[in-house]
Structure 1
């Protein structure tokens, strides 16, 4: 008898081939679903980065003692800070000023109210802790006027606080998701030195006109509105200009210093908790939000790719290389003072340290330890003010008088 031989291409082999094809189809479908989900999530993250932020509640009001004029908040790394702050609320009050910490435990912090709250006041529990302190220019008790700065997107509102002989101006640039009121804390320091202050707005910040896309350029577009403010200062008698930028306002100010047609008028730059390299900031924030590195990387890739602009709705690629001022440190020509806290919690101080190391001839870094993001004035007003005053005088930027 002849031994049984399996015919070629028959029996189990067709079944195996069919199984492999099915498995490959399932795997490719699953891979497509995963990649599609990653792409959708990455685009959502990218859009979040460039969409003008709205203030979000970050603490809760646990108790309001009208008789004692105290307020108890949920404890966070911000609400437990010593110093003077503000609190955005809803109810009968939209904003109240907070004084020193009176007591605290594992979950709450009791602070003194510096805004008188009446017996009929009612505040909703959700609130946002703020370093603003001053929320209207009248609270400084200094003369000022409301101005409009013409820019390519339209007239941008500004506040002008005249001081001294009008030769030296400081232009204050606020950060992401805030308005120019953020900068009011700095006005008295410059005013006391005889320096005129121009507190500006810029496209898409909720006060200045909206651009066509309505999105942030992370400094790559907004700097032109600040450059227009320098032109305004020049036309109104300024012979030298100091830029002061807060958080993303720091990124904007640095772009002005690198690209302005008025660079000859700029004499110095003061940066408070600045963004010096967006990649470091976005990587850090992604890790804090537990966003996978792959998603964060794809989001940044989309933001800097011209082909993705219809999807990210930016109207143009975000030039992260140009916004990396550590890499462009050799191009800097103006003295810079950086005030940054190493526990910032939002914009890491790493790039500030690297910029100081790259240009020790121009950059001076005064690093704090426990002041968080853009709250250095609130935490230690005396040290903050002295650092700016001393730096201005050493660089002969304060008018003599």
Structure 2
């Protein structure tokens, strides 16, 4: 065999080996990508058991009434917040930032109403501030909203100061409960509205669905529709729907799919999901995943076979959840509040919707408020914006006889 022949066969063997390696690497990458997409998809639709503590407690100054915490994007925000500590066993209300460095922030302690902050090691920030309606100075009642699958969802009913047929239905976001909407009760009550703060399937308060999975608004809207019927039967003649985060996606589904559209006077959205594809892609970037992982995760959630991975009984129709694409189907006046640096749900969908439907959408951006913390960051602006918008809102039409 000549030297050239030997070298030629050696090159063929090298190319062959290289090809095998490339194929093996491609298969490994595909397998890893598939696993990551499956994990992401399952995480998105599975209600979390608990929210983890993510902020270290460094020191508590009882005499000075302050607590020093690890500096995080949330812990340094101006305003008043809840601080749940010791895996939710404790709760404090924290106020103004006293001092801040690159690594720590010291805040004023407004109250500690559960647990011992002095022994706490970690906690988490929340925009809730109020944990239940008893934290507000208004009468309230616990009610049950009948659902389509034969069980009822608990809700809080907070009547207006004077008898009124104007109601607001508060729809909370993913991985939280109806307490999220309590911040909005005072401003709506001052405008003469009765507030109904609802729970919905798989949120930990309402009965679970058959599969125990979120549908990102694609099925949860039925529970809001049931709340509309409940409100109408109890005197509501004009209803505003307010949705927070994923609650915004649920509200948009309700507004376009309900048979009681004539009862709706308007929509308020706080840090809303307008297009889930946008949100899933953004979260993928935040997790430093390749862009195809987010697309693959949506494919898993949107296909019937994906239920074998995620536990969903019905696939999610992401086209139906895209209200940038469906903007022309919206017909109710809308107030859209979103922070430019939300951190969880990108503001892009809100801006696009506001541009496409400037005829019905009033868009009010905030600066550094982050996700669902606009009220905490600038309470005065948030309240005045809603008050002004409500004052200009036309009344809804009377309900049909069967709901009277």
TM value normalised by structure 2 = 0.91
Partner in structure 2 of residue 281 of structure 1: 279
Partner in structure 2 of residue 162 of structure 1: 159
How much is the aligned-residue C-alpha RMSD, in angstroms? 2.3
User: What SS class does the counterpart of residue 114 from structure 1 fall into?
Assistant: strand
The structure-2 alpha-carbon separation of the partners of 1:142 and 1:308, relative to structure 1 and needing over 3 Å to count, comes to same
Alpha-carbon displacement from aligned partner over 1:124-153 (angstroms, at most 9, x marks no partner): 322111100001110101010001111134
| C-alpha distance in structure 2 between counterparts of 1:280 and 1:299, whole Å | 13
Partner in structure 2 of residue 39 of structure 1: 34
Match of 1:177 among 159, 175, 192: 175
Rg (Cα) greater in structure? 1
8 Å CA contact 1:96–1:113 kept in 2: the answer is yes
Give the number of aligned pairs: 392
| C-alpha distance in structure 1 between counterparts of 2:282 and 2:165, whole Å | 41
8 Å CA contact 2:265–2:394 kept in 1: the answer is no
Which ranges of structure 2 fall in alignment gaps of 5 or more residues? 397-404
Partner in structure 2 of residue 146 of structure 1: 142
The structure-2 alpha-carbon separation of the partners of 1:294 and 1:380, relative to structure 1 and needing over 3 Å to count, comes to same
| C-alpha distance in structure 2 between counterparts of 1:277 and 1:64, whole Å | 42
In the alignment, structure 1 residue 59 sits paired with structure 2 residue 55 = yes
Which ranges of structure 1 fall in alignment gaps of 5 or more residues? none
| C-alpha distance in structure 2 between counterparts of 1:127 and 1:319, whole Å | 36
| C-alpha distance in structure 2 between counterparts of 1:260 and 1:100, whole Å | 43
Partner in structure 1 of residue 93 of structure 2: 97
TM value normalised by structure 1 = 0.92
Match of 1:321 among 319, 338, 352: 319
8 Å CA contact 2:302–2:316 kept in 1: the answer is yes
Partner in structure 1 of residue 45 of structure 2: 50
8 Å CA contact 2:249–2:272 kept in 1: the answer is yes
Match of 1:217 among 215, 223, 234: 215
Partner in structure 1 of residue 385 of structure 2: 387
8 Å CA contact 1:93–1:123 kept in 2: the answer is no
Partner in structure 2 of residue 82 of structure 1: 78
Match of 2:109 among 105, 109, 113: 113
User: What SS class does the counterpart of residue 316 from structure 1 fall into?
Assistant: coil
Give 1:184 shift.
0.5
Which has the higher mean CA deviation after the structures are superposed, 115-124 or 128-137?
115-124
User: What SS class does the counterpart of residue 203 from structure 1 fall into?
Assistant: coil
Which has the higher mean CA deviation after the structures are superposed, 376-385 or 85-94?
85-94
The structure-2 alpha-carbon separation of the partners of 1:24 and 1:138, relative to structure 1 and needing over 3 Å to count, comes to same
| C-alpha distance in structure 1 between counterparts of 2:169 and 2:114, whole Å | 37
8 Å CA contact 1:66–1:117 kept in 2: the answer is no
Alpha-carbon displacement from aligned partner over 1:283-335 (angstroms, at most 9, x marks no partner): 11111111111212211121112222222222222111111111111111100
Which has the higher mean CA deviation after the structures are superposed, 306-315 or 116-125?
116-125
Which has the higher mean CA deviation after the structures are superposed, 358-367 or 90-99?
90-99
Partner in structure 1 of residue 121 of structure 2: 125
The structure-2 alpha-carbon separation of the partners of 1:64 and 1:118, relative to structure 1 and needing over 3 Å to count, comes to farther
Give 1:388 shift.
0.3
Partner in structure 2 of residue 352 of structure 1: 350
8 Å CA contact 1:162–1:196 kept in 2: the answer is yes
| C-alpha distance in structure 1 between counterparts of 2:57 and 2:2, whole Å | 83
| C-alpha distance in structure 2 between counterparts of 1:119 and 1:140, whole Å | 21
| C-alpha distance in structure 2 between counterparts of 1:272 and 1:155, whole Å | 26
Give 1:120 shift.
6.4
The structure-2 alpha-carbon separation of the partners of 1:317 and 1:368, relative to structure 1 and needing over 3 Å to count, comes to same
8 Å CA contact 1:69–1:116 kept in 2: the answer is no
